[in-house]
Structure 1
């Protein structure tokens, strides 16, 4: 259900046992909007950007979410009230057929088995009341789905395998300890999400640690330690990985030369870019267009 206040840009993939969706919602004003349907499925939900609250009637729960985050939810029918606190919200989701999810989850770790038991009993459930931030592995797989170059049946097989991979990564993420040594307040956590957003938007010319620290209002020690704790990689690791996968995406999806892509990805010279690319992917930028691996 949409309103005149929102513009939704959606992309969907329908497979036999799963459906995948990517939504960008641009709001004209701030407000609350209700969405409902009668479907039954297990949803892997990933917030990619934005700030919002949503009330989930079937779970009798309300969540305040900002930046990147994920969880797994099950209910028979959905009624959600979303209150946007930013003008843009971007989400990604995978809905699993319940029987298919149960078949997979019963062979998973304890977190998945417990959720599967509730699905079998038709009990509305969520994997955890604490939403976890998307780590780099999760974001990378989402990007691989969004920019996949496969076609026809091979693409469906690829999307299915990546959907199961995301389920595995979430299950692994929620098995990890939730104790934060460096970042304990929600305020500091939100500043780190802001740092991640700044780096993503300025990947061709990212700020230094000192500059980023001043932009988000967090000291350098907390920035470096907290970023690694929250996202599973260092600030420099995040920049490098983003640059590499941006470059591969441009090589596979555009006609830009390797030299042009090197500068777009923020490298000072094509030679430096080529050396980093070969070290990352085992092949040169010029040869990647004929390389059989068509993921990013």
Structure 2
């Protein structure tokens, strides 16, 4: 069900983890190549693909769609084609991606009575059209990011792992469809330039790297070269949460992981993540998850 491997290329390497759950395949890959290097990927399978770009900038040409895309970190889309041939050019040294592949018949079963965008997408598939859900790639919001991380760090094995991964693959499909519906309904876009979008994504990456000692808002704005107003409004637009809402959620998720997967006590986790007091951490944790840190620590 789970397969990990490292592939060495002439100009780089890729570490990959793949899961197979009753025909639904998921994969997480971190690729490290020299910038400007092109490499190919292909598959003969007739499947629907959910693609999530988690980190890094790249360009790819999709033969079956006769289209090319210039993408920056944090984006997702849904694609279908009979066979799959792309050429990828790295713009940054490291690229991190995640994907889900649904068998065509199963995807249609799930979506033919869903919301309007997915219903139309399913109809195009039934007509054997090569199709992409959205010409505008959708930013990865916090709920979607958390589900992907839950899959990557799945704590279960055996049949329980299989059930967990199946449920999460469907959850990602729902979140992807909902995000596209929200994009269609958005009346205006505040962040319009690619440079500004890259800066907002850099803010997210900075927060992920500094969860234990996060900079304040003015420091973040100075570090990425945005004024605070554009930073706050742009972050909310792209990630559907505030800067500090994102930071609080990520710190809670990290705290949960520490308590579940390490020998750290709740008090130690509280100190590591910079909470004012263990009691404050306990209250915040219980409000977020409905259980105490002590319960997680003693029921991994």
Question: What interval of TM-score do these two structures reach, taking the shorter chain for normalisation?
Answer: over 0.9
* 2:15 is the alignment partner of 1:34: no
Distance in 2, Cα, partners of 1:142 & 1:268:
30
Partner of 2:213: 205
Query: Which one is further off, 101-110 or 27-36?
Result: 27-36
Query: Which one is further off, 58-67 or 179-188?
Result: 179-188
Partner of 2:108: 102
Query: Which one is further off, 154-163 or 179-188?
Result: 179-188
Give unpaired runs (5+ residues) of structure 2: 1-6
- TM-aligned CA deviation for residue 290 of structure 1: 4.3
The match for 1:143 among 140, 149, 152 is 149
* 2:19 is the alignment partner of 1:13: yes
Superposed CA RMSD in Å reads 1.5
Matches within 5 A, 1:1-296: 3-176=9-182, 177-291=185-299
**What is the TM-score normalised by the length of structure 2?**
0.93
- TM-aligned CA deviation for residue 269 of structure 1: 3.2
Q: Retained in 2: the 8 A contact 1:47–1:92?
A: yes
Q: Retained in 1: the 8 A contact 2:260–2:297?
A: yes
Q: Retained in 2: the 8 A contact 1:180–1:229?
A: no
What is the aligned length? 292
Distance in 2, Cα, partners of 1:14 & 1:181:
38
Distance in 1, Cα, partners of 2:193 & 2:257:
36
- TM-aligned CA deviation for residue 181 of structure 1: 4.3
Distance in 2, Cα, partners of 1:86 & 1:122:
35
Per-residue Cα deviation, 1:40-81 (whole angstroms, up to 9, x for no partner): 110111011001111111111111111111000011111111
Distance in 2, Cα, partners of 1:241 & 1:180:
27
- TM-aligned CA deviation for residue 266 of structure 1: 3.1
Query: Which one is further off, 227-236 or 179-188?
Result: 179-188
**What is the TM-score normalised by the length of structure 1?**
0.94
Q: Retained in 2: the 8 A contact 1:204–1:263?
A: no
- TM-aligned CA deviation for residue 29 of structure 1: 4.5
- TM-aligned CA deviation for residue 264 of structure 1: 2.9
Q: Retained in 2: the 8 A contact 1:204–1:267?
A: no
Distance in 2, Cα, partners of 1:263 & 1:181:
40
